[in-house]
Every structure is written in structure tokens, then in C-alpha cells.
């Protein structure tokens, strides 16, 4: 039986990043992945393929909606979904191959198969070529998550689909129903909306992206409605039926009336659940909690100190960059270092167009906590850069402590908000004040000027360009 300092189960962004950091720190490392490709949900059926299709569909949308105003005449623009999916698959396989390269470069042993606990140090790997056992002095569980669903909306993966199938449809739906106005519903809804699909979203809560700052959620709803999204808010889904060539969602509206909505596909996007099947946790006395997650302490240790768990399989945001941070954290903890993760400063992004991004607390959270705040916001349409690119929707909102001026939350809808938010994350990591942002020279013309202007608006209402 081969012995390793660290054995990692799962090769998503949590697992593979942890493996690299462990190897950098001088440990012998094995990583176990049940699929043939490395990279987990993120690379195979999550972040990367969804962004590839978002980019392709955005090009198509621009060709059909904004090119003529830019003075570019194109005849007969057609969306070729087969080619779009093929390009997406190429992007995925190049990225997954990149992880394999990184494993080899860092001398990390990759084992294909399902990893399960035989005892507290022995992992059985059951793969295509039989089974084997390896020993780990330390073990990191990084088995991620799977799509969730509720009774009555079980995906049949044909017409009642999850994000995984939505990333490989062979046709552009005429009408796509989406259950859940969360990140997946709005991102993948956007892909098909831009390709000409009618998109209707059925949501249980009164607002979309319910955990977002209220101003952003309201503004974002307006933008999406203007783009043609149709929302059925406060609807409780009772069932979804595949009728062969169509699918019907039955829901109860706010007044408790039965509503039937028909489309050709229904994307079920009501969250994801931690994945522990196959691990045989019972063999080591670990139990998943009611939400299916593995319980960990502040060091990401399970109740067995040398067994750690990270990423989507534990509490917290289900985000690739959160999983990566935790992977590094555990590697450095095992090495005896004292790493730190600031969970308050994990940015969130929705990759629609414009993009939505946030970091820190929302106005609602701060108000509920009784913290005195001041708020400044600035509309994207007031930027010269935005008019030049014809991307005028959105705003930047900065919330600072009324007494100390420390920035407590930054929320934005803006072109490239996913990249812009990093200025706020960096500033907040160094506990900057809104005045600090005002005093930093921002290049002109850029979208980043909206951050400076929002900071000016928060400090003595002195924004200049509105
Ligand atoms: P995962 O990536 O889920 O990896 C877990 C791996 O473990 C899998 O490869 C699985 O096969 C393997 N595994 C499980 N059990 C075993 C076992 N017993 N033995 C061996 N292997 C096993 N996040 C972002 O931050 N940005 C985005 O833009 C983004 N977009 C997304 C889009 C979609 C459509 C989806 C579905 C998710 C998206 N996410 C995004 C979320 C992101 O993918 C996850 O948060 C991230 O992948 C979690 O990483 P992880 O390492 O914890 O687990
Ligand atoms: P989500 O938690 O973002 O949204 C789920 C939505 O479904 C919520 O609005 C919720 O109120 C609604 N809902 C729940 N039950 C319902 C019901 N019975 N009927 C109608 N609506 C219902 O989950 P989503 O979109 O599935 O994404 C899963 C995870 O993947 C998220 O936690 C997210 O962090 C991650 N992800 C991240 C992305 C990013 O960072 N850009 C992109 C895609 C996914």
C-alpha cells in the first residue's frame, strides 16, 4: 500500500488547489477523482463551461442588437448551437488538461476512481481497473456538490434538466422555464435569452437573488425585465411534467391560485447540495449534517483531527474561489502555519450582462445589525466610457460606517463588475475608508471611475459627474 502525507478526495478547485499547495510545502500528495477528467464541477459543468456559453451568446446578442448602431452591418447572423457547445467543450477540455499538467508538474499522484474510507487512514479507490488502497497521514475531503431539487421537480435530464444538461442542449429552446431566480437560473437563462429563447422564471421568494443588497436586486430585476425575462415571483412549484414535446410547471401563486406554465424545457436551479455519497463516512464515524454537509471546526477539521473537509461539501458560499482559499488554508494548517480566511470578503459575482458583483455586507444586514451607515451610489450611464461602449445600465453602491468611514459593503451592476469588484475587495482587506478610494487616482475613461464617484457620493455627497 502506497503511503502519502496527504490524500485528497475530489479534484475540483478545492481539491486540486489544495494538492498543489501541499506539494509546494513538501508533502507527498495523492488526489482521487471519480471521473476521467480533473477539475470538478467548476471546470467540467460549472464556472468554465457556463462562462464560455455566456461569452458566445453575448457575441451573438451584440451582433443582432448593437452592431448596427456601432455602424457594423452584418447580413444573416445565425446562432449555431452545435458549434457553440463544441467550442465550450474545447475550452473545458483545455482547462481540465491544464489541471492534469499542474498535477504532473507538482509530482502529485492522480488516482481515478471513487475514494471511500476503509478506516481513518486508509482510502479504497474503486475505479475502472479494479480497486486499490492508499494510506494518508492526513486526508482532505473535497467532494463538492450536486444539483438540488424538491419533490415534484425531479429532473429527468431530457426536458426537466439541471445546469449540467443546460450546458449541452442540442437545440435552442423556443421557451425555457427556469425554477429558481438564483445565480444559475439567471446566468443560464441569459445564455438562451440572448439566443432568442423566451425565458420565464418561477421563483419562490419575492425578490430575485434574495440574499443580495435590496437596491441591486431591484435594479437588476428592472434590467432583466427590459431584456425580456419574465418572472413569476412568490410562486410555489407543485410539480413539473414532461409531456413529450413540452414540459408543464404547476405552481401556486401568492393568492394560492393554481397556475400552469408551459415551455419546451424546464431548468431546475433551486440550489445545490453537498455531495458525500460513496465516501463511506460511516466507516470512520463521520456523519453528514441535515443539509448533507460535513461539519468542520474553524480549522476545517472534522471531528477526526487529521481528516479535513473543504469547499462545497462544507458550510458557506458554494463558490470556486472560496473552495480554493479553503484548500490552501488546510494545506498550510497541516504544515503548521497559521493561515486565515476573511469569509466576509469573499466576493460574489453573477455573470449576466451587465455583471453583478458584491463584497461585504448589504444595507439590509447593516441596518438590521444597528450599524450607522452612509451610502453613496453612482449610475453607470453617467460614465463617458459606458456611453462609448453602449453599456449604460447599472450602478455602483458603496456603504461605509457613518462614524469611521470604513467601507463595509460594495455592490454593483456594471460592465465587467466581476473584475471591478476586486478594487473594493483589496480596499476592504486593508480596511480602507471611502475617503481613501476618493483619494486614489482612477484612469479615465474607465468603468472604475464609478467606484471613485460612488465613494465621493458616500463622503459628503460630493460625486462630481451627476
Ligand atoms: P467540486 O468542484 O464539485 O469537485 C468535487 C469533485 O469531487 C468532483 O470532481 C467529483 O467528481 C469528485 N468526487 C466526489 N465524490 C468523490 C469520491 N468519493 N471519490 C472521488 N472523487 C469524488 N462558482 C464560482 O465561484 N464562479 C462561477 O462562475 C461559478 N459558476 C458555476 C456555474 C454552474 C453551472 C455551477 C453548477 C456551479 C458554478 N459555480 C461557480 C460553483 C462552483 O462550481 C463550485 O463552488 C466549486 O466547483 C466547488 O468546488 P469543490 O472543489 O468544493 O467541489
Ligand atoms: P441559488 O441558491 O443561487 O438560487 C436558488 C433560487 O431558487 C433561490 O432564489 C431560491 O429562492 C429559489 N428556490 C428555492 N426553492 C424553490 C422552489 N421550490 N421553487 C421556486 N424557487 C425556489 O442556487 P443556484 O442558482 O441553483 O446555484 C447553486 C450554487 O451554485 C449557488 O450557491 C452559487 O453560489 C453557485 N453558482 C455560482 C455562480 C457564480 O458564482 N457566478 C454561478 C452559478 C452557480
- Going from N- to C-terminal start, the domains of the chain cover 2-147+273-341, 160-270, 345-458
Q: Collapsing DSSP states into helix, strand and coil, what is residue 366?
A: helix
Is the C-beta atom of 178 inside 6 A of ligand 2? no
pTM: 0.98
**Ligand 2, residues 205, 237, 271, 312: which to mutate, most atoms within 8 A of Cβ?**
271
The answer to whether the CB of 140 is under 6 A from ligand 1 is no
Q: 184 CB under 6 A from ligand 1?
A: yes
Mean pLDDT, the chain, rounded, equals 97
pLDDT at 210: 84
Sheet with 247-252, side-by-side order of all strands: 236-242, 247-252, 258-263
Residues 241-270 have pLDDT tens digits of 999 999 999 999 999 999 999 999 999 999
Residue of the CA atom closest to atom 17 of ligand 2: 204
Specify the pLDDT at position 129.
Answer: 83
* Any atom of ligand 1 within 6 Å of the Cβ of 144: yes
Nearest atom in ligand 1 to 146's CA? 3
Ligand 2 atom with the smallest distance to the CA of 186 is: 25
Q: How many whole angstroms separate alpha carbon 234 and alpha carbon 205? A: 5
Q: Do the two domains 2-147+273-341 and 160-270 of this chain adopt the same fold? A: yes
* Tens-place pLDDT, residues 364-401: 999 999 999 999 999 999 999 999 999 999 999 999 99
Q: Is 35 in the pocket of ligand 1 (CB under 6 A)?
A: yes
Angle made by CA atoms 186, 183, 325, in degrees to the nearest 5: 150
Identify the CATH number of the domain defined by range 160-270. Answer: 3.50.50.60
Is 359's C-beta closer than 6 angstroms to any atom of ligand 2? no
Catalytic amino acids? 444
Report the CATH architecture of 2-147+273-341. Answer: 3-Layer(bba) Sandwich (3.50)
pLDDT of residue 237: 97
Measure the CA–CA gap between 192 and 174, rounded to whole angstroms. 9
Q: Could you give the C-alpha distances from 103 to 15, 20, 27, 198, 313, in angstroms and in order? A: 11, 7, 13, 43, 22
Gap from CA of 47 to ligand 2 centroid (Å) = 14
Q: Which residue has the cell 467532494?
A: 143
Q: Which ligand is nearest to the CA of 184?
A: 2
pLDDT at 357 over 90: yes
Helix (H) or strand (E) run with residue 249 in it: strand 247-252
Atom 34 of ligand 1 has which residue's CA nearest to it?
A: 46
Mean pLDDT, to the nearest integer, of 191-207?
A: 97
Q: Is 271 in the pocket of ligand 2 (CB under 6 A)?
A: yes
Measured in angstroms, how far is the CA atom of residue 183 from the centroid of ligand 2? 5
Residues linked to residue 230 through DSSP beta bridges, in sequence order: 200
Cβ-proximal residues to 359 (8 Å cutoff; 6+ apart), any chain: 345, 346, 347, 348, 409, 410, 421, 424, 425, 428
Residues 209/186, Cβ–Cβ less than 8 Å: yes
Region at 129 (left for phi over 0; alpha for psi -120 to 50; beta for the rest): alpha
Q: How far apart are CA 115 and CA 250, in angstroms?
A: 40
| 350 within ligand 2 shell (Cβ under 6 A) | yes
Convert the pLDDT of each residue in 140-187 to its tens digit: 999 999 999 999 999 999 999 999 999 999 999 999 999 999 999 999
C-alpha 332 – ligand 2 centre gap (Å) = 31
- State the distance from the centre of ligand 1 to the C-alpha of 419, rounded, in angstroms: 22
- CA of 370 relative to ligand 2 center, distance in Å: 29
Predicted confidence at residue 425, as pLDDT, reads: 98
Q: Is 145 in the pocket of ligand 1 (CB under 6 A)?
A: yes
- Residues of the chain above pLDDT 90, percent: 98
Give the pairing type, strands 160-161 and 265-268.
parallel
| pLDDT of 59 over the 90 cut | yes
pLDDT tens per residue across span 400-432: 999 999 999 999 999 999 999 999 999 999 999
Using most ligand atoms within 8 A of CB, pick from 7, 9, 10, 351 the residue to mutate for ligand 1: 10
Instruction: Tell me, in angstroms, the distance from the centre of ligand 1 to residue 412's CA.
Output: 26
| Ligand 2 nearest-atom number relative to CA 150 | 18
What is the rounded distance in angstroms from the CA atom of residue 152 to the CA atom of residue 361? 35
User: Domain 345-458 carries which CATH code?
Assistant: 3.30.390.30
pLDDT band at 128; cut points 50, 70, 90: confident
pLDDT tens digits, residue range 4-56?
Answer: 999 999 999 999 999 999 999 999 999 999 999 999 999 999 999 999 999 99
Give me the phi and psi of 209, to 5 degrees please.
45, 65
Which alpha helices (H) appear in 77-175, and where do they start and end?
81-105, 163-166
Amino acid at each position: 500500500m502506497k503511503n502519502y502525507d496527504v490524500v485528497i478526495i475530489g479534484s475540483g478547485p478545492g481539491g486540486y488547489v489544495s494538492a498543489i499547495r501541499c506539494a509546494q510545502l513538501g508533502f507527498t500528495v495523492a488526489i482521487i477523482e471519480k471521473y476521467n477528467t480533473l477539475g470538478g464541477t467548476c471546470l467540467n459543468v460549472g464556472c468554465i463551461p457556463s462562462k464560455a456559453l455566456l461569452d458566445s451568446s453575448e457575441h451573438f446578442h451584440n451582433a443582432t442588437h448593437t452592431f448596427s448602431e456601432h455602424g457594423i452591418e452584418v447580413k444573416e447572423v445565425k446562432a449555431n448551437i452545435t458549434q457553440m457547445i463544441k467550442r465550450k467543450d474545447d475550452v473545458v477540455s483545455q482547462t481540465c488538461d491544464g489541471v492534469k499538467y499542474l498535477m504532473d508538474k507538482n509530482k502529485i499522484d492522480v488516482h481515478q476512481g471513487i475514494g471511500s474510507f476503509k478506516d481513518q487512514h486508509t482510502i479504497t479507490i474503486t475505479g475502472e481497473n479494479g480497486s486499490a488502497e492508499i494510506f494518508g497521514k492526513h486526508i482532505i475531503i473535497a467532494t463538492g456538490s450536486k444539483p438540488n431539487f424538491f419533490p415534484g421537480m425531479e429532473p429527468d435530464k431530457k426536458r426537466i434538466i439541471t445546469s449540467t444538461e443546460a450546458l449541452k442542449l442540442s437545440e435552442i429552446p423556443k421557451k425555457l422555464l427556469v425554477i429558481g431566480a438564483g445565480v444559475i437560473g439567471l446566468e443560464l437563462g441569459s445564455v438562451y435569452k440572448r439566443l432568442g429563447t423566451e425565458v420565464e422564471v418561477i421563483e419562490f421568494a419575492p425578490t430575485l437573488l434574495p440574499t443580495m443588497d435590496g437596491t441591486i436586486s431591484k435594479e437588476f430585476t428592472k434590467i432583466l425585465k427590459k431584456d425580456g425575462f419574465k418572472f413569476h415571483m412568490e410562486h410555489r412549484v407543485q410539480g413539473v411534467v414532461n409531456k413529450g414535446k413540452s414540459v408543464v410547471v404547476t405552481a401556486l401563486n401568492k393568492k394560492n391560485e393554481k397556475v400552469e406554465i408551459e415551455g419546451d424545457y424546464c431548468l431546475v436551479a433551486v440550489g445545490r447540495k453537498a455531495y458525500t455519497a460513496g465516501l463511506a463516512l460511516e466507516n470512520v464515524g463521520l456523519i453528514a449534517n441535515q443539509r448533507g454537509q460535513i461539519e468542520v471546526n474553524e480549522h476545517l477539521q472534522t471531528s477526526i483531527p487529521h481528516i479535513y473537509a473543504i469547499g462545497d461539501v462544507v458550510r458557506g458560499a458554494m463558490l470556486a474561489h472560496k473552495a480554493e482559499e479553503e484548500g490552501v488554508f488546510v494545506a498550510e494548517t497541516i504544515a503548521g502555519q497559521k493561515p486565515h480566511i476573511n469569509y466576509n470578503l469573499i466576493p460574489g459575482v453573477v455573470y449576466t450582462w451587465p455583471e453583478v458583483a458584491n463584497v461585504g455586507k448589504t444595507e439590509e444586514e447593516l441596518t438590521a445589525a444597528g450599524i450607522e451607515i452612509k451610502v453613496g451610489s453612482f449610475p453607470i450611464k453617467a460614465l463617458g466610457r459606458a456611453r462609448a461602449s453602449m453599456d449604460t445600465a447599472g450602478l455602483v453602491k458603496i456603504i461605509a460606517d457613518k462614524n469611521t468611514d470604513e467601507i463595509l459593503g460594495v455592490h454593483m451592476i456594471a460592465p465587467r463588475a466581476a473584475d471591478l469588484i476586486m478594487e473594493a475587495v483589496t480596499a476592504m482587506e486593508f480596511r480602507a475608508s471611502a475617503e481613501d478610494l476618493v483619494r486614489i487616482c482612477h484612469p479615465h475613461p474607465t468603468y472604475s471611475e464609478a467606484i471613485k464617484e460612488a465613494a465621493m457620493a458616500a463622503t459628503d455627497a460630493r460625486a462630481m459627474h451627476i
